[in-house]
Structure 1
Amino acid sequence: MSPHPSPTPRPLADLNALSEDAFARHFAGVLEHSPHYARVAARQRPFADAEAAARAFMDAACSGTPEEQLALIRAHPDLAGKAALAGELTAESAGEQASAGLDRLSPEEYAEFGRLNAAYHEKFGLPYVVCVRENDKASIFAGARRRLEHTPEQEREAALREIGRIARLRVLDLITSRDMSEAPRVKVRLGENNYGKADVQLFKVFRDTPRHEVRDVRVRVAMTGDFGAAHVDGDNTGLLATDTVRNTVYALAKTGFAGSVEEFGKELVRHFVAAGPRVQGAFAEFTEHLWSRIEVDGQGHDHSFVRQMPKHTARVEGDGQTFRVTSGIEELYVLKTTRSGWAGYLLDEPYTTLPETTDRVMATFVTARWEYAVAGCDYDDVWARAYRQIQETFTDHYSPSLQNTLYRLGEAVLDRCPEISRVWFQLPNKHHLPYNLARFGLENNGEIFHVDPEPYGLMEGWVERA
Structure 2
Amino acid sequence: MPLIKNRYGKGRVRIMRIHRDGDKQDVSQLSIKAMLEGDFGRAYTDADNSTSTSTDTIKNIVNVVARENTALSTEEFCQVLAKRYLDLYPQARSVSITAHETKWARLAVDGELHPHAFLLDSNGKPTVEIHATRDGMTMSSGLDNFTFMKSTQSGWENYYTDKYSTIQPTNDRICATSMVASWTWSGKPASYPATNAKILDILLKEFATTYSPSVQNSLYRMGEKVLAAVPEISEISMACPNIHYIPMNLSAFGLDNNNDVFLPTDEPHGQIECTVGRG
Cα contact 1:270–1:321 (8 A) shared by 2: no
In the TM superposition, what is the alpha-carbon distance from 1:375 to its structure 2 partner? 5.9
**Rounded Cα–Cα distance in structure 2 between residues aligned with 1:343 and 1:455:** 20
Report which of the two has the higher share of strand: 2
Instruction: Please show how residues 300-311 of structure 1 align to structure 2 within 5 Å.
Output: 300-308=113-121, 309-311=123-125
Cα contact 1:382–1:419 (8 A) shared by 2: no
Larger RCO: 1 or 2 (CA < 8 Å, sep 6+)? 2
- 1:446 aligns with 259
Out of 351, 357, 381, the position equivalent to 2:194 is: 381
**Secondary structure, counterpart of 2:217 in structure 1:** helix
Cα contact 1:427–1:459 (8 A) shared by 2: yes
Unaligned 5+ segments in structure 2 are none
Cα contact 2:6–2:41 (8 A) shared by 1: no
Deviations 1:16-74 (A, max 9, x none): xxxxxxxxxxxxxxxxxxxxxxxxxxxxxxxxxxxxxxxxxxxxxxxxxxxxxxxxxxx
**1:411/1:319 Cα in 2 relative to 1: closer, same or farther (>3 Å)?**
same
Confirm or deny that 1:288 pairs with 2:101.
Answer: yes
**Rounded Cα–Cα distance in structure 2 between residues aligned with 1:359 and 1:343:** 10
In the TM superposition, what is the alpha-carbon distance from 1:335 to its structure 2 partner? 0.4
Confirm or deny that 1:248 pairs with 2:52.
Answer: no
**Rounded Cα–Cα distance in structure 1 between residues aligned with 2:257 and 2:22:** 54
**Rounded Cα–Cα distance in structure 1 between residues aligned with 2:39 and 2:188:** 27
1:287 alignment partner AA = H
**Rounded Cα–Cα distance in structure 2 between residues aligned with 1:376 and 1:233:** 46
- 2:145 aligns with 331
Instruction: Please show how residues 197-276 of structure 1 align to structure 2 within 5 Å.
Output: 197-276=10-89
**1:377/1:221 Cα in 2 relative to 1: closer, same or farther (>3 Å)?**
farther
Deviations 1:300-345 (A, max 9, x none): 2222211111211111111255211111111211101110000001
Runs of 4+ more than 6 Å apart: none
Aligned length in residues: 278
Cα contact 1:239–1:276 (8 A) shared by 2: no
Instruction: Please show how residues 28-47 of structure 1 align to structure 2 within 5 Å.
Output: none
- 2:236 aligns with 423
- 2:128 aligns with 314
**Rounded Cα–Cα distance in structure 1 between residues aligned with 2:52 and 2:186:** 34
2:233 alignment partner AA = I
**Rounded Cα–Cα distance in structure 1 between residues aligned with 2:5 and 2:223:** 32
Deviations 1:118-173 (A, max 9, x none): xxxxxxxxxxxxxxxxxxxxxxxxxxxxxxxxxxxxxxxxxxxxxxxxxxxxxxxx
**Rounded Cα–Cα distance in structure 1 between residues aligned with 2:24 and 2:260:** 43
**Secondary structure, counterpart of 1:326 in structure 2:** strand
- 1:371 aligns with 184
- 1:133 aligns with none
- 1:352 aligns with 165
**Rounded Cα–Cα distance in structure 1 between residues aligned with 2:110 and 2:187:** 42
1:238 alignment partner AA = T
**Rounded Cα–Cα distance in structure 1 between residues aligned with 2:134 and 2:190:** 18
**Secondary structure, counterpart of 1:207 in structure 2:** strand
Cα contact 1:430–1:452 (8 A) shared by 2: yes
In the TM superposition, what is the alpha-carbon distance from 1:376 to its structure 2 partner? 6.7
**Rounded Cα–Cα distance in structure 2 between residues aligned with 1:290 and 1:321:** 33
1:322 alignment partner AA = G
Deviations 1:384-411 (A, max 9, x none): 1111111111112110000001101100
**Rounded Cα–Cα distance in structure 1 between residues aligned with 2:47 and 2:194:** 46
Report which of the two has the higher share of helix: 1
Cα contact 1:377–1:419 (8 A) shared by 2: no
What TM-score does the superposition give when structure 1 sets the normalisation length?
Answer: 0.58
Cα contact 1:434–1:444 (8 A) shared by 2: yes
Deviations 1:413-448 (A, max 9, x none): 101111010111101111111112222233323221
**Rounded Cα–Cα distance in structure 1 between residues aligned with 2:239 and 2:97:** 22
Max radius of gyration: which structure? 1
2:129 alignment partner AA = R
Aligned-residue identity in percent: 35
- 1:13 aligns with none
Unaligned 5+ segments in structure 1 are 1-187
**Rounded Cα–Cα distance in structure 2 between residues aligned with 1:441 and 1:302:** 56
1:291 alignment partner AA = W
Deviations 1:371-391 (A, max 9, x none): 122267532222111111111
Deviations 1:86-114 (A, max 9, x none): xxxxxxxxxxxxxxxxxxxxxxxxxxxxx
- 1:89 aligns with none
**Rounded Cα–Cα distance in structure 2 between residues aligned with 1:362 and 1:234:** 54
**Secondary structure, counterpart of 2:24 in structure 1:** coil
What TM-score does the superposition give when structure 2 sets the normalisation length?
Answer: 0.95
**Secondary structure, counterpart of 2:218 in structure 1:** helix
- 1:72 aligns with none
In the TM superposition, what is the alpha-carbon distance from 1:257 to its structure 2 partner? 4.1
Cα contact 1:269–1:320 (8 A) shared by 2: no
**Rounded Cα–Cα distance in structure 2 between residues aligned with 1:458 and 1:223:** 32
